[in-house]
């Protein structure tokens, strides 16, 4: 699933390509992607002629603020990613026009297409069809229970060490699970929790209440570090994620532990282990993560 760096990369790309553009027509072959309103014809009608006035991110959510007090929320979920370009529909398949990156197989699972006023298009490629799209009144979205529950943004200046420590205070459970809880800290998922914990030398199964001040400082520093590095490298394309031009992210060059089961630890050469935790996988070095 795209995490904070991948979503932030998408946001920055969208700002360059679609800001101030207007939605003209929407096409889909999978209406279940549209969660609000569930009536696709109503969705089409309400989105038509709305201008994109602002683009921002909250956790893993992409928000396009529109004219007339509306906002379009897109959550890419497990395999979804947004693409910008021009396509032709041929025998039910969207074929990109003159763009080699968009022709990569992972970019071909297009189930939602937005036509813009400048002749360009915004597509959602989603192999597993888990992504969700919602059209809200902006005020209602900002005051929604879902948004209010989201934790602080780890890359904002206001997210100081003191705030981090306060956020984790009195929390119960294994640190890996706590870091992935969007109501505690927004935007961190499986990849970057593994990467930050490896860099901080903390075992993913360690209980939060057992973390010492020194460990908390290391973890805070490594979370910021790994997220900032990944944003600069346009995210991780270990799986399906691509940026809006269909290009792979380059965080793979920096990946130390995620997806490296049975490979050697870069620090101590021990074998990287993978264990299940709450239905997810934790990758770690059993020797240097205590």
- Structural domain for 204, as ranges: 161-284
Whether the bond into 155 is cis, omega within 30 of 0: no
Pair (126, 219) in one structural domain = no
- CATH code (residue 66): 3.20.190.10
d(CA 76, CA 35): 13
In the chain the first and final C-alpha atoms are separated, in Å, by 27
Asked, for residue 156, whether it belongs to a domain, the answer is no
Give the largest CA-CA distance in the chain. 61
119, 174: one domain: no
Of 114, 149, 184, the residue that ends a domain is 149
The verdict on residue 75 lying in a domain is yes
Both 257 and 191 in one domain: the answer is yes
Residue position matching structure tokens 């946001």:
11
At residue 246, the pLDDT reads: 97
* Residues 172 and 267 occupy one common structural domain: yes
CA angle 56, 1, 228 (to 5 degrees): 55
Instruction: Report if residue 76 sits inside a domain.
Output: yes
Question: Do 181 and 63 sit in the same domain of this protein?
Answer: no
d(CA 251, CA 72) in angstroms, rounded, equals 28
pLDDT of residue 119: 97
Cα separation, 45 vs 25, in Å, equals 9
**Cα gap 69→86, rounded to integer Å:** 28
- Counting runs of H as helices and runs of E as strands, what totals does the chain give? 8, 13
Same domain for 176 and 42 = no
Residue positions annotated with a catalytic role: 2-3, 60, 280
Residue 207 located in a structural domain? yes
pLDDT of residue 20: 98
> What is the reported pLDDT for 238?
87
> Is 155 domain-assigned?
no
Residue 213 sits in a domain whose CATH number is: 1.10.8.50
Report how far residue 213's alpha carbon sits from residue 150's, in angstroms, rounded to the nearest whole number: 25
- Out of 149, 169, 202, a domain closes at 149
Domain contains 194: yes
Residue 77 lies in a domain: yes
Say whether both 26 and 138 belong to one domain.
yes
Do 104 and 170 share a structural domain? no
Three-state DSSP class for residue 110 = strand
Q: What is the pLDDT along the chain (290 residues), one digit of tens a residue?
A: 899 999 999 999 999 999 999 999 999 999 999 999 999 999 999 999 999 999 999 999 999 999 999 999 999 999 999 999 999 999 989 999 987 899 999 999 999 999 999 999 999 999 999 999 999 999 999 999 999 999 999 999 999 999 999 999 999 999 999 999 999 999 999 999 999 999 999 999 999 999 999 999 999 999 999 999 999 999 999 889 999 999 999 999 999 999 999 999 999 999 999 999 988 999 999 999 99
Question: Which conformational region is residue 289 in: left (phi greater than 0), alpha (psi within -120 to 50 degrees), or beta?
Answer: beta
Has residue 16 been placed in a domain?
A: yes
144 and 172 co-located in one domain: no
| Cα distance between residue 155 and residue 188, in whole Å | 11
Domain boundary among 149, 174, 195: 149
Overall domain count for the chain: 2
pLDDT at 243: 97
């Amino acid at each position: 699933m795209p995490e904070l760096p991948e979503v932030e990369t998408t946001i920055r790309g969208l700002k360059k390509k679609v800001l101030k553009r207007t939605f003209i027509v929407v096409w889909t072959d999978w209406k279940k992607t549209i969660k609000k309103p569930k009536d696709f014809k109503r969705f089409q009608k309400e989105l038509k002629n709305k201008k994109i006035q602002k683009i921002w991110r909250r956790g893993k959510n992409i928000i396009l603020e529109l004219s007339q007090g509306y906002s379009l929320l897109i959550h890419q979920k497990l395999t979804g990613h947004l693409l910008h370009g021009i396509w032709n529909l041929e025998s039910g398949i969207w074929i990109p026009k003159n763009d080699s990156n968009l022709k990569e197989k992972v970019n071909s699972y297009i189930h939602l297409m937005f036509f813009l006023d400048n002749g360009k298009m915004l597509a959602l490629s989603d192999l597993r069809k888990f992504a969700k799209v919602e059209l809200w009144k902006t005020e209602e979205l900002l005051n929604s229970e879902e948004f209010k529950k989201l934790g602080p943004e780890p890359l904002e200046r206001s997210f100081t060490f003191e705030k981090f420590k306060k956020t984790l205070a009195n929390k119960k459970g294994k640190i890996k699970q706590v870091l992935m809880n969007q109501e505690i800290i927004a935007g961190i998922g499986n990849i970057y929790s593994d990467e930050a914990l490896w860099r901080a030398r903390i075992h993913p199964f360690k209980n939060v209440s057992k973390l010492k001040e020194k460990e908390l400082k290391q973890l805070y520093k490594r979370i910021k570090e790994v997220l900032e590095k990944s944003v600069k490298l346009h995210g991780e394309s270990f799986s399906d994620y691509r940026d809006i031009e269909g290009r792979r992210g380059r965080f793979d060059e920096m990946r130390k532990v995620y997806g490296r089961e049975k490979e050697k630890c870069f620090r101590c050469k021990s074998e990287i282990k993978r264990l299940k935790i709450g239905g997810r996988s934790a990758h770690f070095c059993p020797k240097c993560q205590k």
